[in-house]
Amino acid sequence: MRKQEGLETADVVVVGGGVIGLAIARALAMRGAGRVFLIERTHPGAEASRAAAGMLAPQAEADGADAFFELACASRNLYPALADALREETGTDIELERTGTLYLAFTDEDEREIEHRFAWQRRAGLSVERLSGDEARGLEPCISTLVRSALRFPQDVQVENRRLIAALSASIEKRGVRLLVETNVESLIIERGRVAGVDTSRGVVSAPVVVVATGAWTSRLTSTDKAAPPLSIEPVRGQMLCFETNPALSARHVIYSPRGYIVPRLDGRLLAGTTAERAGFEKRVTAGGIQAITSHALEIAPAISDLPLVDSWAGLRPRAQDDWPVLGACSETEGLFYATGHYRNGILLAPLTGELIADEITTNITPPQLQAFSPDRFHLSTVGHVR
C-alpha cells in the first residue's frame, strides 16, 4: 500500500489491536470520546491475545493481596457483565465458563504452598475451598491418583480468548471506531513535549492523544535520538499445546499444578501450558517446550497420554521490569498514555484496563486504581519521534 502524507485526523489513536487496545477503544467509544482510531500492524488479536489460555484466575497463584491482586480481581469481576454486553451487541458468545479452578498438590512442598494460600485467602474473606485428593478426583475423575490435596477457587474462571477478540473487534466497529489493519505505527510524533500523532506505514495520523498498547513490541516504538532508556518491555515466550479430548477425559475445571496447567474448552479441545522463555521475538514451538508442557500435563492427568495432539502455538507476553502492567498517562509527554506490560494476565486485566484508561483520557483525572501502575515509576525519557 502506498504511503500518503497526512492520512487522517483523530481525537484518540490507540496503537495495537490486541485484547488491551481493543478493550480501550471500545471503552473510549462508549464514552463518546470522538474519532477513535485503532491502528494494528497485522489484524486484531494476532499476537499474545490469541495465544493465551484465557484463564481469569487471580486467586489461584496469589500469595498475598497487593494493588495488582486488587486490580486483577476487580477486572475478573467485570467479565459476566462484559460477556452479556458483547453477546447483546455482536451475537458472539465469549464462552465465559464458570465451573472454577483447581490447584493440585503432589509433594510436601506443594502442600505447604497451597496451605499458605488457603490460610491467607480465607483470612481475607475470599472464596476458596480445601479438598482432599479423593474429593478433587470426585470433581474431576481425570486427575492423577498421586494428587494429595487441592484448592478449589470457584470464582477463578475462564473465557475463550479468541472469541473475546472477535467480539471486541465486532463491537468497536459497530460503535464507530476506525480500525486500520495492516498498518504499522513506525513512530510517535511528539512536538514540544506533547503528542501530535503517529507516523504509520500509510502516512501520518494526527491526534492529541495516543495510547500505546503494543504489547511485547512496545520498546520498538522509540526514536533513535534518545540517550536515556525508554520504557522497557521484554517479550517472554509462552508455548501452548492443544489436545482433542474424548468422553473419558472431559474435565470442566481449569486445573493447575505448581508446574503447569490444563484448560478444557467447551468445544472438546484441551489446552496445556506453558513455558516462560527469554527467546527474543522468536515465536516458535520447540521440542523442549513440547516435552516440558506434556510432562506437566501428564502429571495432572495421566490419561492425556492417549489424546491426539492437534495444534500447538507460541506467543510473546509483554513483561515490564517489575512484572506489573504499565498503565496510564506519561507525565513527561502530554497526551501520551501507556497500556502495556500485562505479562501473564492481559486477558484477565483487559476489561478494567479499558475502563480505567478511557476514564483517565476522558476525565483528565487519574483513577486511584491506576496509581501503582503509572509509567512514571520507571523515570522514562520521552519516546517517539521528537520534532
Ligand X SMILES: Cc1cc2nc3c(=O)[nH]c(=O)nc-3n(C[C@H](O)[C@H](O)[C@H](O)COP(=O)(O)OP(=O)(O)OC[C@H]3O[C@@H](n4cnc5c(N)ncnc54)[C@H](O)[C@@H]3O)c2cc1C
**Residues at the site binding ligand X, with contacts judged by CB under 6 A:** 15-21, 39-42, 46-49, 51-55, 184-185, 213-217, 221, 238, 240, 273-274, 315, 317-318, 340, 342-348
> Which CB sits closer to ligand X, 52 or 249?
52
> Which CB sits closer to ligand X, 149 or 345?
345
The residue behind cell 498498518 is 183
Question: What is the nearest approach in angstroms of ligand X to the Cβ of residue 271?
Answer: 9
> Which CB sits closer to ligand X, 26 or 149?
26
Contact 147, 169 (CB under 8 A): no
Report the distance separating Cα 112 and Cα 258, nearest Å.
Answer: 12
> Which CB sits closer to ligand X, 130 or 279?
279
The residue behind cell 475451598 is 129
Question: What is the nearest approach in angstroms of ligand X to the Cβ of residue 223?
Answer: 13
β 185-191/385-386 pair status = parallel
> Which CB sits closer to ligand X, 197 or 273?
273
The residue behind cell 495492516 is 182
> Which CB sits closer to ligand X, 149 or 324?
324
Report the distance separating Cα 220 and Cα 318, nearest Å.
Answer: 12
> Quick one: 255 exposed, middle or buried, by C-beta within 10 A (0-12, 13-18, 19+)?
buried
DSSP state of 216: G
> Which CB sits closer to ligand X, 40 or 110?
40
Contact 31, 172 (CB under 8 A): no
> Which CB sits closer to ligand X, 149 or 261?
261
Q: What share of the chain is helix, strand, coil (3-state, %, to 5)?
A: 35, 25, 40
> Which CB sits closer to ligand X, 126 or 180?
180
Question: What is the nearest approach in angstroms of ligand X to the Cβ of residue 246?
Answer: 24
Cis peptide before 275 (omega within 30 of 0): no
Question: What's the N-to-C CA distance of the chain in angstroms?
Answer: 26
Closest Cα partner for 80 from 101, 56, 102, 61?
56
C-alpha cell at 137: 478426583
Question: What is the nearest approach in angstroms of ligand X to the Cβ of residue 135?
Answer: 25
Closest Cα partner for 338 from 290, 307, 384, 287?
384
Question: What is the nearest approach in angstroms of ligand X to the Cβ of residue 50?
Answer: 7
Question: What is the nearest approach in angstroms of ligand X to the Cβ of residue 325?
Answer: 8
Question: What is the nearest approach in angstroms of ligand X to the Cβ of residue 208?
Answer: 19
State whether the Cα torsion 213-216-221-223 is positive or negative.
positive
> Which CB sits closer to ligand X, 106 or 217?
217
Question: What is the nearest approach in angstroms of ligand X to the Cβ of residue 54?
Answer: 5
Report the distance separating Cα 38 and Cα 179, nearest Å.
Answer: 5
Question: What is the nearest approach in angstroms of ligand X to the Cβ of residue 27?
Answer: 14
Question: What is the nearest approach in angstroms of ligand X to the Cβ of residue 254?
Answer: 8
Q: Listing from the earlier edge strand, what are the strands of the sheet with 8-9?
A: 8-9, 203-206, 194-200, 185-191, 385-386
Q: Where are the alpha helices (DSSP H) in 145-242?
A: 161-174
Report the distance separating Cα 26 and Cα 28, nearest Å.
Answer: 5
